[in-house]
Chains A and B, each alone.
Chain A
Amino acid sequence: MAEPRKVYGLGAEFPTAAALFHAAEKARDKGFKRWDVHSPFPIHGMDQAMGLGKSWLSSVVLMGGLSGLLTAVVLEFYPSSIDYKLVVDAKPVTWATVPAFFPIFFELTILSSAFAAVGALLLFNMLPKWYHPLFNWERFARATDDGFFLVIEARDPKFSETSTRQFLEEIGGTHVTLVHD
């Protein structure tokens, strides 16, 4: 290798979800900022253990829903009331028939909200991202099987190869590994 690769961070493995949960609490209390835990499934209460708040993805979905509703209003009322008034079965274009437009309002609201939910999920998580330094760590493949990992990034102001390694070992981490970029 020509030049030494940059260090991404230090990773440690934990035997159970419970062990990872308690380790996360300790890492939070220690004051680390740029760190993460990896597990094959979402661990209940982990957000609090990591000191993370509520996900505000819901706000994007609300915006998505409102824009879908607005689209439907324009899509239906412009042709039916302005562009080409269509009288079918002698049903006039008046306020009395507005409820007949509701099903499409509803469907487009849902459609747009669902796209917003998936789009926001990708955006908030910065996915898709087909390369990540953690994939260089062989043991990390088990994060999608039955492995529980805690990774502290080198970018963290409190990171130091020796003391962070010691900390990870203290809180019960095994296979503490330096992960390169």
Chain B
Amino acid sequence: MATGIQGPPVPGPSVVRVPLILNERKLNWITDRISGVVEDRTPFWWWVAFCITSPIALFGLFCIGYQISTGVGVWGENIPVGWAWDITNFVFWIGIGHAGTLISAILYLTRQRWRTSINRSAEAMTLFAVICAGIFPGIHVGRFWMAWFLAPVPNQYGIWPNFRSPLLWDVFAVSTYFTVSVLFWYTGLVPDLATLRDRATSRVKKFFYGLFALGWRGSNRHWRHYEMAYLLLAGLSTPLVLSVHSVVSFDFATSLVPGWHTTIFPPYFVAGAIFGGFAMVLTIMLPMRFIYKLHDVITPQHVDKMCKIILLTGSIVGYSYAMEFFIAWYSGNAFEQAAFLHRAFGPYKVYYWTMISCNVLSPQIFWFRYCRHNIFIVYFVCMCVNAGMWFERFVIIVTSLAQDFLPSAWHVYHPTWVEIWTFIGTFGIFLSLFLIFMRYLPMIAMSEVKLVSPYADPHYHAPDAQAGAEPHQP
């Protein structure tokens, strides 16, 4: 060609991507801003928040102690409603965890670079949510000291647990999920702990951050293995997160209870988990972003994308609700039909329609760009989804059990104060842990955020020579 070699075509303004970090922040701005959250004096609001959440957590623990020491009769559940708030709360919390793993693993594999601003706190949220979830299966067995029956060891008669039972699958799934999440989270933390170690001013801080930073020094020979390990952990966590809520749904789906015995449960539960989890991520992240002025790192683009995921998964959940009804009608199974009519028009109808309006209707306003960019609307919808997902689990569990095959056993379940406060207590535990996390650990993955800034590109040449760094004092 006569024109010779030409450079790549310059993209027009409509094609250029919105940067993930606004205002062209330099690398050390990122370090200062995010480490500053940990290094500055504990703010007053933090103490206020912690003084609210920690007594709630302690009262929740008291309720657990009361239930264990007195007996499971302090709860309102009774045959046929053998599972009620306990398992509702378990599924609720474990579902919340899924958003963190989705962000850290699935969005990593699909190269969604915007994940870097939110993955750290979402992963922390996963861990704390799984801790809250793990409480309930332990205490709902009634005799807590027999919880070791869940472990794969023979009991005093030499009988092993039934490995073909979904309840045992659940033990393995949840404990694996927690362990792998901890490993993944810690691996991601190591470079950032090294940053905090290098910035530490007191000996105590230097010792502890140094201890957990493992002597990390940003060597490329280390990064090479680190990136491979991170990729593999993401690759392992992706099927894991899909399996965990599938296994949770098997607890229900493999039984013969009408309303539970359906093949749609695994995908329906996984979509619901991600849906509820993203709402919780936004619930926690939006106040943090406001308090610590992190608007350049967690940009409107991030919120917008999370809202789109909520819209997508919320629509899948809505489709699943509709499909359950359709199959109940189409199967011609009288018990199945009765169970679903009972859900929508029986004594629990308030729960059911709350669930529908929170989970199916409220996210639909995210079709509008204005609603995805208005923080107050986003926050309101997230609160609806948080509530709606709890109601969903309650509706699935309790309505199916309360009216079972034997009409003489039918009764309407009501929780006692112990159940209610155990649940509220888990919120105290969750929020207290999160507050402690944000005081001591960087809540945004600094090394990963730096990676998506233009300065990380080895072929980037800034107009000014001092591109990556601000001028330093010698």
Contacts and interface: CB of A to CB of B under 8 A. Distances in A.
A89 B160 CA distance: 16
Contact of A57 (B162, B199, B216, B229): B229
Interface string A78-111: 0110011010100100000100110110111011
Contacts of B451: 41-42
A88 B195 CA distance: 55
A45 B28 CA distance: 23
Contacts of B362: none
Interface stretch (B151-159, B323-331, B398-406, B421-429): B151-159
B455 A16 contact: yes
Given A17-B468, A117-B229, A129-B214, A40 B180 contact: no
Contacts of B160: 79-80, 83-84, 86
A180 interface: no
Interface centre among A52, A100, A121 (most CB of B within 10 A): A121
A124 B215 contact: no
Contacts of B27: 40, 145-146
B173 A118 contact: no
Interface string B11-45: 00000000000000011100100000000000000
Interface string A117-131: 110111011011111
B243 A91 contact: no
B164 interface: yes
B408 interface: no
B164 A47 contact: no
Interface of A: 15-18, 20-21, 24, 36-47, 49-50, 52, 54-55, 57-58, 61, 75-76, 79-80, 83-84, 86, 88, 91, 97, 100-101, 103-104, 106-108, 110-111, 113-115, 117-118, 120-122, 124-125, 127-132, 134-135, 140-148
Interface of B: 26-28, 31, 152, 154, 158-160, 162-166, 168-169, 172-173, 176, 179-180, 183-184, 186-187, 191, 194-195, 197-199, 210-211, 214-229, 232-233, 236-237, 239-240, 243, 247, 250, 446-448, 450-451, 455-462, 465-470, 472
16 contacts: A17-B458, A41-B456, A44-B456, A46-B458, A55-B225, A100-B164, A101-B163, A104-B168, A104-B172, A107-B172, A121-B225, A130-B210, A131-B215, A144-B447, A145-B27, A147-B469
